[in-house]
Chains A and B, each alone.
Chain A
């Protein structure tokens, strides 16, 4: 039972443009959301997070937006750079920084030069 869904398996964007990755969840108990980035042959690395008390969190080129009523979050990368080409996983937990995370299936981003 996939509680976190990333319905776009892939995204191709031109360098310098915006990348928008989407994520939907079904569990209303989720209170904390994270994005992880994964390069081939490496483990996922933490990118950015957001608590349910906020609707936006920004860190440099990365911004995460949360719409609790729609159970939807998105990650914006502006501007996209070639080094951003990776698989991005959306994850959620019922408590902040919980070790038990529910992950989406991932979106592969390819940034074209």
Chain B
């Protein structure tokens, strides 16, 4: 069974631009969570989607948004990029959100 896939794997943007990252969950999984990983901070929860609905959101500014499609694929968008947004963005999927999460390889975003 294919794992969680994320595209693109690497991205370079400049300050002020916006970016969209994509996550395809494991087939049959309906919950997708997003995390930001920065050095020294570990993974920080961004938000979670289940059946196209955002169920919870972490402590991130409104510039960070996301959505989920009917096929459970999810996208996250960051507008007006700042240097501090440079990070590894990971998504994880699970069947319902109340079971083991499986992570994708991440998208490495660099903001110049």
Contacts and interface: CB of A to CB of B under 8 A. Distances in A.
B103 A101 contact: no
Contacts, number: 63
Q: Secondary structure at chain B's binding surface: helix, strand, loop or mixed?
A: strand
Contacts of A59: none
Nearest to B9: A41
A43 B43 contact: no
B103 A105 contact: no
A52 to B, nearest CB: 17
A96 B99 CA distance: 8
Contacts of A42: 105
B40 interface: yes
Nearest to A38: B103
B64 interface: no
A44 B100 contact: no
A105 B42 contact: yes
Q: Which range contains the number of B residues in contact with the other chain?
A: 20 to 34
B21 to A, nearest CB: 14
A89 B43 CA distance: 9
B106 A43 contact: yes
B81 interface: no
B9 to A, nearest CB: 8
Given A97-B98, A98-B98, A100-B33, A43 B42 contact: no
Interface of A: 2, 4, 6, 9, 36, 41-46, 89, 91, 95-106
21 contacts: A4-B42, A43-B104, A44-B43, A44-B90, A89-B42, A91-B43, A97-B98, A97-B99, A98-B97, A98-B98, A99-B55, A99-B56, A99-B92, A100-B33, A100-B45, A100-B56, A100-B58, A101-B45, A103-B42, A105-B41, A105-B42
